[in-house]
Amino acid sequence: MAQYVARRILNALPILLGISICAFLMVKLVPGDPINVLVEPDKQEKVDLDAVRRQYGLDKPFVQQYMYMMRGIFAGNLISFSQRVPCLEMVRRTLPVTALLGLTALFLSLVMGVMLGTIASRRPFGVLDQFMSTVSLGGISMPGFVTALLLVYFITEQAHLLPASGIRPAGSEGWSPVLILPHMIMPVLTLAFGLLPEFYRFTRSSMLEVLNEDYIRTARAKGVAERGVFLRHALRNGLLPVVTMFGLNIPHVLGGSVVLETVFAIPGMGRLAVTAALARDYPMILTANLIMATLVMSSNLLTDILYAVVDPRVKVG
């Protein structure tokens, strides 16, 4: 296992290098001058622009600029053009917020989706199955920002039950559950409402397929209790597609839903990346792209490992 993980990490390094080069090329090809971000246009006559370019490495040739920024990322001292603080410091502030909301919604939707999909597969086209199919269709069809706005309108504006912005009360710091929980409920429900249908539908269809396999009929013919057949034989094999969905959704939730973070004014990673792109903040764009690419590759590796845990027939290495 350790050799397999090490080999996957080594294989990922050239991909990360290519992603960083493509990201840097794209931001350099966009029209405009980043000096306008560093120095306000109405103050440029009073500032030595050449000195500013030298300070941020913008006076160097293309390749040297790329190397300068990559060294800054790995050293942790690459400064954001728009915020004037190290890019990794900004990531350190925003990524835990996105991870807390995203992973909470992901695990909530996973548990509920698997549970409801499993129950529905035992009585296909029953009342629960029909109800959940309708809810799933709504969850897939309705954009996340619509769900968010509906929650804000009914829960915050009409009922005055929960706050509609931020991750904690204004002026407070830390990660106290008492302070954070009321702010988490609506964003987590919004994100989970979009993820739950995927886990439910995949679990239901996979379980219906597995329950018709020959080895399930064989287990029943040998006198194995229905509970044992369902939990030990069917469920474990039926979870394989769900594991795939879980791994594919990790980078999605960790990357942050830009619309979700905008509606609820959440200072998360997705909002940070969009703000950096609009401001032509080269260092922040490059840092965010590398972090997201790393998360995607890590989630793919985690998915392969989970396959081996769920299904002993799958070997890694």
Residue 297 resides in a domain: no
Residue 216 resides in a domain: yes
pTM (whole model) above 0.85? no
What are the pLDDT tens digits along the chain (317 aa)?
A: 677 778 888 888 888 889 889 888 888 887 777 777 777 777 777 777 788 888 777 778 888 888 888 888 888 888 888 888 888 988 888 888 888 888 899 999 999 988 888 888 888 888 888 888 888 877 778 888 888 888 888 998 888 888 888 888 877 777 788 888 888 899 999 888 888 888 888 888 888 888 888 888 888 888 878 777 777 778 777 777 888 888 888 877 876 567 788 888 888 888 888 888 877 888 888 898 888 888 888 888 887 777 777 666 666 66
Residue 71 resides in a domain: no
Residue 304 resides in a domain: no
Residue 260 resides in a domain: yes
Residue 23 resides in a domain: no
Q: pLDDT at position 310, please?
A: 67
Residue 109 resides in a domain: yes
Residue 221 resides in a domain: yes
Structure tokens at 215: 């080895």
Q: pLDDT at position 311, please?
A: 66
| Number of structural domains the chain divides into | 1
Region for 166 from its dihedrals, namely left if φ exceeds 0, alpha if ψ lies in -120 to 50, beta otherwise: left
- Say how far apart CA 104 and CA 83 lie, in whole Å: 29
Q: pLDDT at position 107, please?
A: 92
- Say how far apart CA 290 and CA 16 lie, in whole Å: 7
Q: pLDDT at position 83, please?
A: 81
Q: pLDDT at position 314, please?
A: 62
Structure tokens at 256: 């942050």
Domain of residue 138 covers 96-269
- Say how far apart CA 203 and CA 138 lie, in whole Å: 18
Query: Cβ distance 34 to 58 under 8 Å?
Result: yes
User: For 153, what's the count of Cα atoms within 13 Å in the CB-facing half-sphere?
Assistant: 6
Structure tokens at 149: 């706005």
- Say how far apart CA 277 and CA 295 lie, in whole Å: 19
Instruction: Look up the CATH number of the domain holding residue 234.
Output: 1.10.3720.10
